[in-house]
């Protein structure tokens, strides 16, 4: 028992050691220097062909599905450009993890290699410990759970991990292809300058011969060469190596197929010189691929040393359903642009203090909407390519504007954000850095709506106000009313009486059904109780709902009888509920009688009794109508087996399609929200929404305007001047900013472009001229006034003093959204000098992913709180010598 528990603890410890934490990365890099297993892979001879570290490689081409790693590559020596090196620190971390379980990993490798040699290449072995009687769904769930739980060695800044058991790397935060991982221990010289790694099976046989010092057993070969021959067991017939040398100096060559005297003649053609351990290229002029490889290795080494202190989730917009669209590639391009700009515009201290990790949020890739198949069947065959493009782009906006599919899209984005954050926390426990959102196109609208409902977690469908605005004060047919979800305290009906609902945010569907039976199921009205204190019903009766948190079935029955179709068919229950209703309203009338004059008691009691009779009659009428409708629906709705649908299932179906959206609480606080190429402005304008805290109706001079505020510390709206999809946001926050132009984002090479600077200069001169003209006009008026009445100089001087007035409401909201009194939201990119508006508009909406100006602006903001150099106290710099402060300033 103790042994089993010990093994369990060892397995748990080894799993923890593989997690992507900065401490583990440092530990692996340090421990590998003292690792006993590594000593046998160090140079044990004085030969120039011996030495160097083991380097790990990953394949450029992804592996096929269910393909074993031992099946690739097909050749013993990898081709040029087929594999890329990991960075030095990544290779050290992988090698340290490999040495901890070397025997287990090598035995598993040879087991896979034997399967590939015996049967078809890449045949997948049966899943261990799986029940053959499990259903396909159960097996897929198990595989999905394994994929979610697997944690490998972190590489590439934590974006990828290496599974040493399966010898492949996989992306962590998105679904991607597996790539073959190769351990480079023995290398062959190809092309005379570059060393390329050998496949593991060949390298292991060469390593075995090396440790046995096979060159001490040299003999004359048929070719006449005095060397030791080592025949390789592999897929290539005639593969062998020749070792030459004496004592601790040796050299080796790899040959394929040739024997006898012919091999000596073609020695330089077929023989590949071998070495043990990695060595860099001997070329004096590296190629572009080698330069890119070197830069990528340096970036990987930087990422493995600097911890992540800012996490940015990048939410895509429309177009991800297209075949060529790939958010992962777009974010990868953006990441490369940001890294190149960071080297130029950030100090070493800033880059060493924190690292920003950009993670794509693919909410559309796995989302399947039920309406897509219907749209596909309705699509005309003509201009098929254009229709497919429109379906993959414009239709996403239409789906989101639909009350049926809006909930699915919101859930997909929220769940994906939370899932990515939990994955990051799993690999970075104790993370206390910042999290920001980058929303492009429709993704900015989705992110904004989620941020605006982090407190309430529920809201009417965003477009519902458009349909309710015209009927907000009217009564629809069949006596039902349509109420808008504004910030009104009381709404009265034609008869002037009121209904008091529960407190804000507590009203539910059950409460609505109890107060107005049958109305919620008829589909004639849409009612929301958010931000309302008093609502009236059609009959003008006063109905008091329970307090917050005390709503029970007993309270509902005390107000009105049960309205379900099953119970409405029972006459006895109806009579009892009617009697209880009469008692409830009579008790309310007794309270009113105490506050009026005794002379009017008879009149009031008589009027209340008449109202009770009217209510009872109305209740019976509504219940009978509802019972008939329920019977008709139950008789019509049958499933495929012929069973009738229950009324409860029908009720649930109707409720699921009500235009009421539920939001998921994010597991993190958002620091900054970047809306890039965003149509958010037009969405808010169509909803008649302004950005505020609900106190700006007088400021906007509109009683029907609604206000909301996103849950983030700062917000920016970045757009290209010719982007046909982008809109401004500041006019919906502050009226004073309607005529103010957006802030120009600086050019990444410094300053402003020539034509932008000239245009700004002309506008500045025009504005100054207008100011001077206005000043002359004011002076002229002042002089004329002084000449006409000298006695009133003191009064005029007093009247000319500016009056202290409070800040406008919009200016306060701008400060709340930007974190600064002079902060701005709208920021515009600079267009090129010779750029046609309509031609550039074609690609303006998609250029943000590769635009350096956008990347630099965001990068500067993310590093804004980190100084260029560390702070050093003044007395420390002056060796504790005290001088007057004035000397420092001089």
Q: Annotated catalytic sites, by residue?
A: 441
- Bond from prior residue into 73 cis (ω within 30 degrees of 0): yes
What is the spatial distance between Cα 486 and Cα 273, in angstroms, rounded to a whole number?
A: 80
Q: List residues bridging with 414 in a β-sheet.
A: none
- The answer to whether the CB of 214 falls within 8 A of the CB of 208 is no
DSSP secondary structure string for all residues of 282-330: --SS--HHHHHHHHHHHHHHHHHHSPEEEEEEEE--TTTTSSS--HHHH
Residue 59 token pair: 């394949």
Nearest to 733 by CA among 698, 703, 699, 702: 699
The 8-class DSSP code of residue 490 comes to B
3-class DSSP assignment, residue 535: strand
3-class DSSP assignment, residue 249: strand
Nearest to 711 by CA among 358, 435, 432, 357: 435
Nearest to 574 by CA among 629, 626, 538, 633: 626
Q: Count CB neighbours of 422 within 10 A.
A: 12
Q: How many CA atoms lie within 13 A of 129 on its CB side?
A: 3
Phi first, then psi, for residue 540 (nearest 5°) are: 80, 15
What's the chain's Rg over C-alpha atoms? 38
430: left (phi over 0), alpha (psi -120 to 50) or beta: left
Nearest to 592 by CA among 525, 645, 542: 542
- What residues contact residue 61 under an 8 Å CB cut-off, 6+ apart? 82, 179
CA of 710: how far to CAs of 790, 815, 826, in Å? 56, 13, 16
Q: List residues bridging with 250 in a β-sheet.
A: 245
Handedness of CA 283, 287, 289, 291 (dihedral sign): positive
Residue 483 token pair: 């109420």
Question: What's the distance, CA 729 to chain centroid?
Answer: 22
3-class DSSP assignment, residue 332: helix
What is the spatial distance between Cα 275 and Cα 306, in angstroms, rounded to a whole number?
A: 34
What is the spatial distance between Cα 404 and Cα 114, in angstroms, rounded to a whole number?
A: 54
Residue 6 token pair: 């010990």
Beta strands in 295-448 (DSSP E): 308-315, 355-361, 434-440
What is the spatial distance between Cα 369 and Cα 400, in angstroms, rounded to a whole number?
A: 11
What is the spatial distance between Cα 602 and Cα 772, in angstroms, rounded to a whole number?
A: 78
- What residues contact residue 713 under an 8 Å CB cut-off, 6+ apart? 670, 671, 672, 819
b/e sequence 311-334, b meaning 16+ C-beta within 10 Å: bbbbbbbbbbbeeebbbbebbeeb
Query: Tokens 């160097």 map to which residue?
Result: 52
Residue 561 token pair: 């009888």
- Exposed, middle or buried: residue 488 (CB in 10 Å: 0-12, 13-18, 19+)? middle
């Amino acid at each position: 028992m103790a042994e089993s528990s010990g093994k369990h603890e060892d397995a748990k410890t080894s799993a923890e050691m593989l997690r992507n934490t900065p401490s583990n990365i440092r530990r692996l890099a340090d421990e590998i220097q003292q690792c006993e297993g590594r000593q046998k892979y160090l140079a044990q001879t004085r030969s120039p062909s011996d030495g160097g570290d083991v380097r790990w490689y990953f394949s450029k081409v992804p592996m096929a599905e269910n393909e074993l790693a031992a099946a690739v590559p097909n050749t013993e020596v990898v081709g040029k450009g087929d594999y890329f090196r990991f960075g030095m620190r990544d290779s050290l971390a992988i090698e340290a993890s490999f040495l901890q379980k070397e025997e287990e990993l090598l035995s598993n490798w040879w087991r896979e290699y034997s399967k590939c040699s015996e049967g078809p290449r890449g045949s997948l072995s049966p899943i261990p410990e799986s029940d053959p009687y499990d259903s396909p769904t159960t097996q897929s769930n198990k595989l999905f759970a394994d994929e979610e739980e697997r944690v490998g060695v972190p590489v590439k800044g934590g974006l990828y991990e290496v599974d040493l058991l399966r010898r492949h790397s996989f992306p962590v935060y998105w679904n991607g292809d597996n790539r073959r991982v190769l351990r480079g221990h023995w290398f062959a010289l190809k092309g005379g300058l570059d060393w390329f790694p050998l496949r593991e099976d060949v390298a292991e046989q060469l390593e075995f011969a090396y440790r046995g010092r096979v060159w001490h057993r040299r003999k004359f070969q048929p070719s006449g060469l005095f060397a030791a021959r080592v025949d390789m067991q592999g897929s290539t017939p005639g593969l062998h190596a020749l070792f030459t040398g004496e004592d601790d100096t040796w050299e080796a060559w790899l040959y394929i197929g040739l024997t006898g005297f012919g091999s000596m003649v073609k020695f330089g053609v077929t023989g590949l010189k071998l070495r043990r351990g990695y060595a860099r290229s001997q070329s004096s002029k590296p190629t572009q691929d080698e330069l890119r490889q070197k830069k990528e290795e340096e970036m990987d080494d930087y990422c493995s040393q600097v911890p992540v202190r800012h996490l940015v989730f990048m939410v895509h917009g429309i177009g991800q359903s297209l075949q060529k669209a790939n958010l992962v590639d777009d974010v990868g391009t953006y990441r490369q642009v940001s890294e190149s700009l960071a080297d130029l515009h950030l100090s070493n201290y800033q880059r060493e203090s924190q690292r920003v990790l950009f993670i794509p949020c693919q909410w559309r890739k796995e989302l399947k909407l039920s309406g897509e198949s219907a749209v596909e069947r309705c699509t005309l065959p003509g201009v098929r390519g254009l229709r497919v493009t429109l379906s993959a782009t414009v239709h996403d906006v239409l789906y989101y504007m639909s009350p049926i599919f809006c909930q699915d899209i919101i859930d997909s984005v929220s769940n994906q954000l939370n899932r990515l954050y939990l994955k990051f926390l799993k690999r970075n426990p104790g993370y206390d850095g910042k999290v920001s959102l980058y929303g492009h196109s429709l993704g900015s609208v989705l992110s904004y709506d989620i941020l605006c409902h982090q407190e309430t977690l529920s809201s009417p469908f965003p477009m519902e106000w458009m349909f309710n605005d015209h009927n907000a004060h009217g009564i629809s047919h069949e006596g039902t009313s349509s109420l808008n979800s504004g910030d009104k305290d009381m709404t009265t009906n034609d008869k002037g009486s009121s209904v008091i609902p529960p407190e804000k945010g507590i009203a539910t569907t059950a409460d609505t059904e109890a107060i107005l039976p049958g109305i919620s199921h008829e589909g004639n009205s849409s009612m929301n109780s958010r931000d309302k204190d008093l609502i009236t019903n059609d009959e003008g009766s006063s109905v008091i709902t329970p307090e917050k948190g005390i709503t029970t079935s007993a309270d509902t029955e005390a107000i009105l009888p049960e309205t379900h179709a099953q119970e409405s068919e029972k006459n006895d229950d109806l009579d009892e509920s009617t009697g209880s209703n009469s008692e409830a309203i009579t008790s309310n009338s007794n309270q009113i009688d105490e506050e009026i004059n005794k002379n009017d008691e008879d009149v009031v009691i008589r009027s209340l009794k008449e109202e009770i009779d009217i209510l009872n009659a109305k209740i019976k009428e509504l219940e009978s109508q509802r019972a008939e409708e329920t019977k008709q629906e139950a008789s019509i709705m049958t499933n495929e087996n012929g069973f009738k649908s229950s009324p409860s299932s029908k009720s649930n179906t109707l409720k699921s399609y009500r235009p009421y959206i539920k939001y998921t609480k994010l597991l993190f606080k958002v620091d900054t929200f970047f809306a890039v190429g965003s149509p958010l402005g037009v969405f808010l304008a169509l909803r008649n929404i302004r950005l505020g805290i609900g106190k700006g109706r007088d400021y906007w001079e509109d009683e029907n305007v609604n206000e909301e505020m996103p849950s983030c510390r700062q917000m920016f709206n970045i757009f290209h001047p010719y982007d046909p999809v982008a809109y401004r946001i500041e006019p919906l926050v502050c009226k004073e900013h309607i005529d103010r132009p957006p802030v120009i984002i600086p050019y990444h090479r410094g300053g402003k472009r020539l034509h932008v600077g000239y245009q700004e200069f002309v506008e500045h001169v025009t504005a100054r001229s207008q100011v001077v003209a206005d000043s002359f006009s004011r002076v002229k008026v002042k002089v004329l006034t002084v000449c006409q009445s000298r006695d009133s100089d003191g009064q005029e001087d007093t009247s000319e003093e500016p009056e202290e007035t409070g800040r406008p409401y919009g200016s306060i909201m701008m400060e709340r959204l930007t974190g600064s009194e002079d902060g701005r939201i709208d920021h515009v990119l600079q267009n090129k000098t010779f750029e046609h508006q309509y031609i550039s508009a074609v690609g303006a909406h998609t250029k943000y992913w590769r635009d350096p100006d956008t990347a630099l602006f965001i990068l500067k903001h993310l590093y804004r709180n980190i100084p260029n150099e560390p702070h050093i106290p003044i007395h420390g710099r002056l060796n504790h010598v005290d001088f007057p402060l004035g000397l420092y300033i001089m």
